[in-house]
Amino acid sequence: MGETSCTGRALEVQGLTRAFGVRKALDGVEFELPDGAFLSIFGPNGAGKTTLVKILTTLLNPSAGTAKVCGLDVVTDAVELRHRIGLISHNPLLYPDLTAEENLLFFAEMYGIPQATERVRDLLESVELDHRRLDITRTFSRGMLQRLSIARALLHKPDILFLDEPYSGLDPHAMDILDSLIAQIRGDHTFVMISHDLTKGLELCSHALILANGRVVLFDEKDAIDEGAFRETYRSTVGMGVA
Amino acid sequence: MNRTKIARLVLVLGGMLTTAAFLMTFFWANPSLLPDGRVDFSQKIFYFHVPVAEASFLVFFFTALYGVKFLLTKDRRYDMRAKIATEVTLFFVLLTMATGILWTKVAWGVWWQWEPRLTTYFIMTLLVIAYFVLRNSVEDEEKRAVYAAAFGILAFIDAPISFFITRWAESIHPVVLAGGKSSGLEAPMLITFIIAQIGMLMLGYAFYEMRLHEEELKERLEALKVKVGG
Amino acid sequence: MAGSSWRQFKAILRKDLVMELRTHEMITSMGLYAILTMVVYQIALTEAGEALDVRLVMPGLIWVAFIFMSLLGLNRSFVHEKDQGCIDALLLSPVDRPVIFFAKSAGNLLFLLVVELLSLPVFAFLFLQGREGITNPIWLLGVVMFAASVGISGVGTLLATMTVNTTGKDILLAVVFVPLMYPLLRAAVGATFAAIIGGPGSVETFWAWMTWIAGFDVIMLLIAFGLYEFVIGA
Amino acid sequence: MQDVYSAVLPQAPYVIGAYGLIWVALLGYVGLVFSRLNRIEKEISVVEAAVKRREKSES
């Protein structure tokens, strides 16, 4: 487990509830994640995984309860927190009609990054896209887009990276590249990943969480988890999402 | 006494007042005269046309008010109230349009005239309809509520414009609520009108509460079904 | 803080301009739409022939073309953001939501004005040759076009932010946008008429309509500005 | 006298139409809402009974 510049725990979630009417997307979610950990969140469709990540990344407000990321409250310290988090999604979150470099420069400007040009060049080199930096991203393959979106997420040197099913839609080669990129930055980042793929998710994580019907079914360190029993628990939740 | 009981009482009272106003319109209120001295029977439409129109403006205000309250609290109950207020607005707006068109035919000889009051009120009708079109095209419940609230607030701007337009622009539409000299209503006419107005507002309130009660029951039913069905 | 907001505003605006200069998507579709509208107008006016003084209906025709044209641009401007989830990346960054509103509105205003300025001479060329000229100073037309376009793009940006998330977004935008714009359109046509037809007192009439437009702009933009954070965060 | 009321007869259908419309609409609306309210209340009592039965059989 590495160190980030976060003071205190990476995640502190208490009684987190997100409801609109009768349906509760999240219902009293509680857990704590130490700094530098890698959390994999599992759960059937509609379990509330995306809602949880959206709250932790300040895109949605909770209806009740509190969540602190990096010691910062997701509601009251939202603006400051946005400097500390990055998101890699299965969607590239890039403008297809801008070049690779323009995309990164645009987001650098949004984050107010000093010496943006150098930072962008460095990042493009590290994801091996410097030779394509002047091409518009519409022409990129799925794997290249994913690499560029990692560069986008790392622009402002976030402490916590959120991964929303980053492997979906990637070919095996692109998956390998993504693996090695994650391994490179694993040391000084905390990771929170949503995953459908049990094997992949368990392989990477240090902590695992199963969500169903908006509730935490299981949360533990990987070392304490018996994989067979874990798979059994996960299987039992499938279908619970659809009430 | 709970809200539903009050609503039913108000409904009965409103019904009684409007019925009384109806009878007064035809048996008590003195007839309005045409410039040539003949009796203008079509003016009788105004005793209900105007109260319904005023009620539509007033209820529409609650769409905007509950819209603001919803955005500030994100409390779903306000969204429901805004929706119901708009529904009652739609009901009154359509009634206003229908009675207005009948009167226009008598007084102006045509069913429809593009004059400022009619035009702006027509626009308001379209806005109220658009409110529901918007609601129906948003799947996510919370998004729907937020968008509807925002649109309701924007749409309400047309209500004061339509209300005051007869005073600002050259309009041939009569100004009934001008106050003072130009309304020219004699006491029996004015009293009849006021009773009809109060009755109609009470009906509006009762409709709103009844529909709200219905929606709340629906919700309780949903919750119960979830409990049973698991 | 204010400095960084200004930088972000410029960055979003520049990004939209670069994308538009690269694809020409909005300007082309809006421009073609304007020309198509003129063809349809020709059909509509053809039987009236010389009996009709086109100048009398021209203000209305212009604004009909502009309002429907603006719908195309407004829709496009948010389809870009939605396509690959860019709007989420934007919202994830430490940008004040109103900055997004103002930058997107400014971009939409710019594209709208460009197409308006391009299509107006074409309109005059096709319909007004051999007619009496415009006596009032021509910049009055520029004033109405600018003021009304500010209202159109401001309120339009707010509404397009909503309708991009709905089923049947193009039609829905028209359904919610056109009636809301009625007061503004009415005043714009009045002002344009006063500017084009001229005659005694026309300049006073022009400025009277302009106060309506200015009032509408101020009230609607303030409300749209206040609502934007809620709408984009939903 | 006849002269004074000569405008009444041709105008009457419109006035009657307007008031007829108002009454039908108001009564119709009230009737509709009440019938729906009754139906929902009935449904609620059915489901509530089901809930009670279950709770009994569980305990």
User: Given pLDDT bands bounded at 50, 70 and 90, which one contains residue A4?
Assistant: low
Q: What is the pLDDT of residues A148-158, one digit of tens each?
A: 999 999 999 99
pLDDT at C170: 81
pLDDT at A103: 94
**Domain limits, chain C:** 2-232
Sign of CA dihedral C101, C161, A64, A58: negative
Please give the residue that has the higher pLDDT: either D22 or C136.
Answer: D22
Q: Which of A111-115, A199-203, C6-10 shows the lowest per-residue confidence on average (mean pLDDT)?
A: A199-203
Residue in A92, A97, A110 closest to C11 by CB: A110
Chain D touching partners, 3 or more CB pairs below 8 A: B
Indicate yes or no: CB of C179 within 8 angstroms of CB of B149: no
Mean pLDDT for the stretch of residues C12-18: 95
Q: Is A106 on the interface with C (CB under 8 A)?
A: yes
User: Given pLDDT bands bounded at 50, 70 and 90, which one contains residue A202?
Assistant: confident
Other Cβ atoms less than 10 A from the Cβ of C154: the count is 25
For residue C52, what are the CA distances in angstroms to C39, C55, C57, C59, C120?
Answer: 17, 9, 9, 14, 20
Q: Which amino acid is at A180?
A: S
Chain B residues with CB under 8 Å of A22 CB are: 219, 222-223, 226
Domain-located, residue B127: yes
Chain C residues 11-30 with a CB less than 8 Å from chain A? 11, 15, 18-19, 22-23
Q: What is the pLDDT of residues A8-49, one digit of tens each?
A: 788 999 999 998 877 788 999 999 999 889 999 998 888 889
Cα–Cα dist A111/A120, whole Å:
13
Structure tokens at D2: 């006849």
pLDDT at A243: 37
pLDDT at C51: 82
Q: What is the pLDDT of residues D42-57, one digit of tens each?
A: 998 988 888 888 888 8
Residue in A21, A61, A243 closest to B76 by CB: A21
Chain B residues 95-114 with a CB less than 8 Å from chain D? 95, 98-99, 102-103, 105-106
* Percent of chain C's residues with pLDDT above 90: 68
pLDDT at B211: 93
Residue in D21, D30, D54 closest to B228 by CB: D54
Domain total in chain B: 1
Q: Which of A63-77, B122-136, C22-36, D3-17 shows the lowest per-residue confidence on average (mean pLDDT)?
A: D3-17
Helix, strand, or coil (residue C41): helix
Chain B residues with CB under 8 Å of A21 CB are: 76, 141, 219
Contact A62, A88 (CB under 8 A): no
pLDDT at D6: 76
- For the range A25-29, what are the long-range contacts, defined as Cβ-Cβ under 8 Å and sequence gap of 24 or more? A25/A51, A25/A214, A26/A51, A26/A52, A26/A55, A26/A62, A26/A214, A27/A213, A27/A214, A27/A215, A28/A65, A28/A215, A29/A65, A29/A211, A29/A214, A29/A215, A29/A216
Q: Distance between terminal CA atoms of chain D?
A: 84
Domain-located, residue B227: no
Pairing of strands A38-42, A190-194: parallel
Q: Which of A52-56, B195-199, C136-140 shows the lowest per-residue confidence on average (mean pLDDT)?
A: C136-140
Other Cβ atoms less than 10 A from the Cβ of B178: the count is 13
Mean pLDDT for the stretch of residues A55-81: 91
Domain-located, residue B141: yes
pLDDT at B181: 45
Structure tokens at A199: 């094997």
Q: Which residues does C130 contact at the CB level (< 8 Å), separation at least 6?
A: none
Cα–Cα dist A187/A15, whole Å:
30
Contact A69, A160 (CB under 8 A): yes
Write down the H helix ranges in C47-138: 54-83, 86-92, 97-127
Cα–Cα dist C10/C15, whole Å:
8
Q: Give the DSSP per-residue string, C140-172.
A: HHHHHHHHHHHHHHHHHHHHHHHHTTSTTHHHH
pLDDT at B155: 95
* pLDDT of A232 above 80: yes
User: Given pLDDT bands bounded at 50, 70 and 90, which one contains residue A240?
Assistant: low
Mean pLDDT for the stretch of residues C40-62: 87
Chain A residues with CB under 8 Å of C23 CB are: 97
Chain B residues with CB under 8 Å of D33 CB are: 207, 210-211, 214
Q: Edge-to-edge strand order for the sheet containing A72-73?
A: A23-33, A11-20, A64-69, A72-73
* Percent of chain D's residues with pLDDT above 70: 95
Burial tier of B133 (Cβ tally within 10 Å: 0-12, 13-18, 19+): middle
Q: What is the mean pLDDT of chain A?
A: 87
pLDDT at B180: 46
- Host domain of residue B155: 3-33+40-220
Q: Within 13 A of A89's CA, how many CA atoms are on the CB side?
A: 17
- Shortest alpha-carbon distance between residue B155 and chain D (Å): 25
Write down the H helix ranges in chain A: 49-56, 78-82, 100-111, 116-126, 142-154, 172-185, 198-204, 227-237
Chain C residues with CB under 8 Å of A111 CB are: 93-94
Write down the H helix ranges in chain B: 3-27, 46-73, 76-108, 116-136, 141-156, 158-168, 187-229
Burial tier of B169 (Cβ tally within 10 Å: 0-12, 13-18, 19+): middle
- Mark the ranges of chain B whose per-residue pLDDT is less than 70: 1, 176-185, 229-230
Nearest-by-CA chain D residue for B98? D18
pTM assigned to the model: 0.91
Largest CA distance in chain C: 61
Please give the residue that has the higher pLDDT: either A178 or C130.
Answer: A178
Q: How many CB pairs under 8 A join B and C?
A: 73
- Closest-CA residue to B215 (of B84, B78, B88): B84
Chain A residues with CB under 8 Å of B230 CB are: 243
The domain spanning residue B174 has which CATH number? Answer: 1.20.120
User: Given pLDDT bands bounded at 50, 70 and 90, which one contains residue A167?
Assistant: confident
